Structure 1
Amino acid sequence: MSIPAQQLSQNPIETLPTESLTANLNRQMIAVLDFGSQYSELIARRIRETQVYSEVLSYRTTAEHLRKLSPKGIILSGGPSSVYDKNAPQCDPEIWQLGIPILGVCYGMQLMVQQLGGTVERAQRAEYGKASLLIDDPTDLLTNVEHGSTMWMSHGDACAQLPKDFEILAHTENTRCAAIANNNKKLYGVQFHPEVVHSIGGQALICNFVYHICHCEPTWTTEAFVEEVIREVRAKVGEKRVLLALSGGVDSSTLAFLLHRAIGNKLTCMFIDQGFMRKGEPERLVEIFDHQFHIPVEYVNARERFINKIENITDPEEKRRRIGHEFIQVFEEESNRLGPFDYLAQGTLYPDVIESADTNVDPQTGERVAVKIKSHHNVGGLPKNLRFKLVEPLRKLFKDEVRKVARSIGLPEEIVRRHPFPGPGLAIRIIGEVTSERLNILRDADFVVRDEITKQGMYHDFWQAFAVLLPIRSVGVMGDRRTYAHPVVLRCISSEDGMTADWSRVPYDLLETISNRIVNEVKGVNRVVYDITSKPPGTIEWE
């Protein structure tokens, strides 16, 4: 768990700089300029799968700053705008003169066309979903991408006229310029999204850009990351003390193991039990860390404080805010008791940052280019009087990268492969007001879900599998008597990174077993329903 927060950019808190870390590991860096696409982080993730470091930067990043970063290549992301909109986001036009290979994706391609003298217009036929890519030039960018490959489209605009010296590499039935290039200047554009899993051959295209066009080498490895983090933490922290808020999830647990390896007993782990954990988890957490791996954990029982703090609160964002505020209060009190500490360690990850959309704010309008989906408890700011320096070694990692790091440093598999769990815990899996009675109902129902999928050997088949408690009641019949009890929603989803997700096709026999057990074993429930909504349009969690 990390510290809940509101406005990090306004706080006088020093963060351990990531620049030195990335300066060492990003010698083969690809920069992704973000124009507000929900897939911008996915582009970076796909690049990292080639073992080349990639980082997402604001579209406002200047050519001069890019020159200093010296990336081997630049990718312009997609985005929700049209290039001819009045306030459409624009990149620094000087980037075209850097001599660095550039790939524009969807909106990024259209911006490239417009800024270099071509024209973009509203397409006669918009193109969304799958389309067959018909290749006109199978070399360079499209090497090893098969003719007729399925690519994922999502655009209502199209290139009407190419800039000077550009040529068409591929087309689709509806789009004349599906892929374009100026090979002399190493400028490329694709109208589709090669980064999504639906694009067959998309990763091959990305590899072509990274290796053959940008001439990168595979230097971004788990081993290199771990060595660099340990070296940097030791250099920065020295003999000072670090405090870590531990949740038992893979993020904070990996961070705890990393920091313990780096600085030993100068690390103090604090677990605040807010009463919203799953059944048996607090006890298991202390057993693993304190007894099995001898990493001391300060256990703080604050269950009563938290349940009182959100009494009668039904709005999900208000629940998150109050839980976050109370967490800070408890954390401050306990850190003062255990302190003093110079550094605060947080397990913030890249997806937390992008979904909270805390980086791409238009300086003139104050509006976010990427739409905020929900507040993340570990992205934002800390109280101005909380005088810690931040240690966030995982902030640039995706969840799958964290798991790779976790395995490499010896975390047990039950933590490495633990399903993601929200910071506010069961409090946001109870729709509406949270009470002790409802917590007990949901905790027991959730245990049945986890117990059954584990028995069936299917726990690792899901990204997440959990129960949600609804605040309504429905009529049922049990033992020839009328019941009026809660329905429970079963949510099982598959995903690679949590950015997008699909509902899992669970065997009917397993659904039946889970339903029967919940209805018979969990007092207060008489109905189980299954959520078959993907993300988007839904989110993984209900709140």
Structure 2
Amino acid sequence: MSQTIAVLDFGSQYTQVIARRIRECNIYSRIFPYSVTAAELRKANVSGIILSGGPSSVLTKGSPRPDKKIFQLGVPVLGICYGLQLMGKLLGGDVAKSDRREYGRGRLTIKKKGRLLKGLPKSIKVWNSHGDKVTALPEGFEPIAGTENSDYAVIEDATRNFYGLQFHPEVVHSERGDDIIKNFLVGVCKCKQDWKMSNYVDQAIQDIRDQVGDSRVILGLSGGVDSSVAAALIHRAIGDQLTCVFVDNGLLRLRERDRVEQVFRDHFHVDLRVAKSGKRFLKALKGVTDPERKRKIIGKIFVDVFEDTVKKIGDVDFLAQGTLYPDVIESVAIDGNPAALIKSHHNVGGLPKRMKLKLLEPFRELFKDEVRALGKELGLPDEMIWRHPFPGPGLGVRVMGEIKKSYLDTLREADAILLEEMKRTGYYSKVWQAFCVFLPVQTVGVMGDERTYDYVIALRVVESVDAMTADWAHIPHDILQIISNRIINEVKGVNRVVLDISSKPPSTIEWE
């Protein structure tokens, strides 16, 4: 691939958003760990480098630093937030703690447009997230825009094509951020806008073949978008070297196992093994109420089941997973990424050493909508591509508190009604995700002439593009009324339905 923009990851939760914005400009982007060497970047034939933001301070001992030789590669460099402060510090300037930290909206006043700010108005709203600021510029740099708190909010060395932004142009809160990124890619790096998803398919297939070689791969197939597209992609790359395993963990939706067996044996013609292990999961989860403990127990048994399955299959070297970037950045630090933990995911963070399997994660740098585009490119049916996301731990994170089989059965029936009505009314395809949550709280109700004391079901319906942010969907009241009435009338043990109207952030999409 002749043109690649390298994004060096210093732990920002927006790193992949940067890479995504680049791909939206039809230019290929690739994320590298901040420790990548200049020699590796030269070998990758990068046309430009972007230094991401991050939670660290350049003033802190041991904070992540790049190979200083990247500034000698002769390619343009753009530092964002922490990346700007790194450039300032490493190239001879000064950085200090701000008297007043900037988080949230700010106003950028442009003094000189140059190539980076070409076509922008004199003043725009931007999104800040920093506690440090550059106080003295390195030799060759000049300020071209400032905010209320920093005279050096945008800096440039036009001779060497080095640029720095104190704010985050990649987030939607920054006005004209896409134009700034495009100006860097096209105006400064001179990239051609000719990359598309079909190029990614070719590249991903080649990467899989290079990584796997003649080895065998085992894939955890759930029937969701991520694992389904992963199965199709990996199968196209290595054919019969792939074995898919479906784990029935007892935490699935209604008739899930039957559907997966039918679709993947008939449609994909892959080697599919079904591991029926629901009792094993439920036994281990008995009495557990803490969300993180539940996730970790589910993750551990998930790996254990795979370990048992691998022994039956024979020689397997790789475990494939449909891990997406939002899973990665919300999880424990991995691969030297200094990002902070939000919550753990069962399929992120590696495998026990005893398992001796390497991870194959072809979607580790993609968002959900990009995986759907990839699935369409691979020729998967729309029903599979547009299926709503389903968490790896399944209904285990949609039953609040202790998980019991009776709670799961109740939730399965309620969830099936919600999805049926969403599809019937056409709203299923209009929202990002719709699901039910079981609350182990009993409330008083009246059915007929009798007093009831039954459980509560919460409806969670959200709109989103990439799961990084989400807002609750405004479903018409008459549709909500039908859903509520059906659940209360048809699902035994439920006498109350409530609607979750919180956004992400500050809430997450899932309840646990």
TM value normalised by structure 2: 0.91
Q: Which residue of 1 aligns with 2:502?
A: 533
Q: Which residue of 2 aligns with 1:181?
A: 156
SS of residue matched to 2:26: coil
Q: Which residue of 2 aligns with 1:202?
A: 177
Residue 50 to residue 422, structure 1, CA distance change in 2 (3 Å): same
Q: Which residue of 1 aligns with 2:334?
A: 359
Q: Which residue of 2 aligns with 1:494?
A: 463
Superposed CA offset, 1:281-317 (max 9, x none): 2222222222244335323322222212211111222
Q: Which residue of 2 aligns with 1:3?
A: none
Superposed CA offset, 1:486-526 (max 9, x none): 22222222222222323333333333333232222222222
Residue 190 to residue 442, structure 1, CA distance change in 2 (3 Å): same
Gapped runs of 5+ residues in structure 1?
Answer: 1-24, 362-367
SS of residue matched to 2:125: strand
Q: Which residue of 2 aligns with 1:288?
A: 263
Identity of aligned residues (%): 52
SS of residue matched to 2:354: coil
Superposed CA offset, 1:7-31 (max 9, x none): xxxxxxxxxxxxxxxxxx4x32222
Q: Larger deviation: 403-412 or 390-399?
A: 390-399
By how many angstroms is 1:42 displaced?
A: 1.2
Q: Cα RMSD (Å) of the superposition?
A: 2.6
Quick one: distance in 2 between partners of 1:280 and 1:147?
Answer: 58
By how many angstroms is 1:277 displaced?
A: 1.2
| 1:110–1:159 Cα contact (<8 Å) kept | yes
Decide which of 466, 491, 495 is 1:522's aligned counterpart: 491
Quick one: distance in 1 between partners of 2:252 and 2:122?
Answer: 51
SS of residue matched to 1:184: coil
Alignment of 1:472 onto 2:435: no
TM value normalised by structure 1: 0.86
Aligned partner letter, 1:227: D
Alignment of 1:370 onto 2:339: yes
By how many angstroms is 1:411 displaced?
A: 0.7
Aligned partner letter, 1:131: G
| 1:407–1:416 Cα contact (<8 Å) kept | yes
Quick one: distance in 2 between partners of 1:233 and 1:60?
Answer: 23
Q: Larger deviation: 185-194 or 342-351?
A: 342-351
Residue 249 to residue 69, structure 1, CA distance change in 2 (3 Å): same
Q: Which runs of 4+ in 1 moved over 6 A?
A: none
Superposed CA offset, 1:374-397 (max 9, x none): 222222222333344544333333
Q: Which residue of 2 aligns with 1:430?
A: 399
Alignment of 1:335 onto 2:310: yes
By how many angstroms is 1:458 displaced?
A: 1.5
Quick one: distance in 1 between partners of 2:83 and 2:162?
Answer: 11
Alignment of 1:155 onto 2:113: no
Aligned counterparts, 1:250-269, within 5 A:
250-269=225-244
Quick one: distance in 2 between partners of 1:230 and 1:88?
Answer: 36
Q: Which residue of 1 aligns with 2:454?
A: 485
Quick one: distance in 1 between partners of 2:73 and 2:206?
Answer: 33
Decide which of 71, 75, 79 is 2:54's aligned counterpart: 79
Decide which of 261, 283, 293 is 1:308's aligned counterpart: 283
Aligned counterparts, 1:96-111, within 5 A:
96-111=71-86
Residue 448 to residue 61, structure 1, CA distance change in 2 (3 Å): same
By how many angstroms is 1:529 displaced?
A: 2.4
Residue 232 to residue 159, structure 1, CA distance change in 2 (3 Å): closer
Superposed CA offset, 1:66-122 (max 9, x none): 444442222122223343345544434443333321111122222322333434444
Residue 156 to residue 326, structure 1, CA distance change in 2 (3 Å): closer
Residue 145 to residue 460, structure 1, CA distance change in 2 (3 Å): farther
SS of residue matched to 1:309: helix
User: Which structure has more RCO (C-alpha within 8 Å, separation ≥ 6)?
Assistant: 1
Aligned partner letter, 1:466: F
| 1:360–1:370 Cα contact (<8 Å) kept | no
Quick one: distance in 1 between partners of 2:138 and 2:370?
Answer: 39
Quick one: distance in 2 between partners of 1:315 and 1:68?
Answer: 47
Gapped runs of 5+ residues in structure 2?
Answer: none
SS of residue matched to 2:355: coil
Residue 62 to residue 342, structure 1, CA distance change in 2 (3 Å): closer
SS of residue matched to 1:477: strand
Decide which of 102, 115, 118 is 1:127's aligned counterpart: 102
Residue 524 to residue 212, structure 1, CA distance change in 2 (3 Å): same
Q: Larger deviation: 351-360 or 193-202?
A: 351-360
Quick one: distance in 2 between partners of 1:55 and 1:133?
Answer: 29
Quick one: distance in 1 between partners of 2:27 and 2:183?
Answer: 13
Aligned residues: 512
| 2:298–2:346 Cα contact (<8 Å) kept | no
Q: Which residue of 2 aligns with 1:190?
A: 165
| 2:26–2:194 Cα contact (<8 Å) kept | yes
Residue 344 to residue 110, structure 1, CA distance change in 2 (3 Å): closer
Q: Which residue of 2 aligns with 1:444?
A: 413
Residue 82 to residue 396, structure 1, CA distance change in 2 (3 Å): closer
| 1:28–1:219 Cα contact (<8 Å) kept | no
| 2:51–2:78 Cα contact (<8 Å) kept | yes
Aligned counterparts, 1:36-75, within 5 A:
36-75=11-50
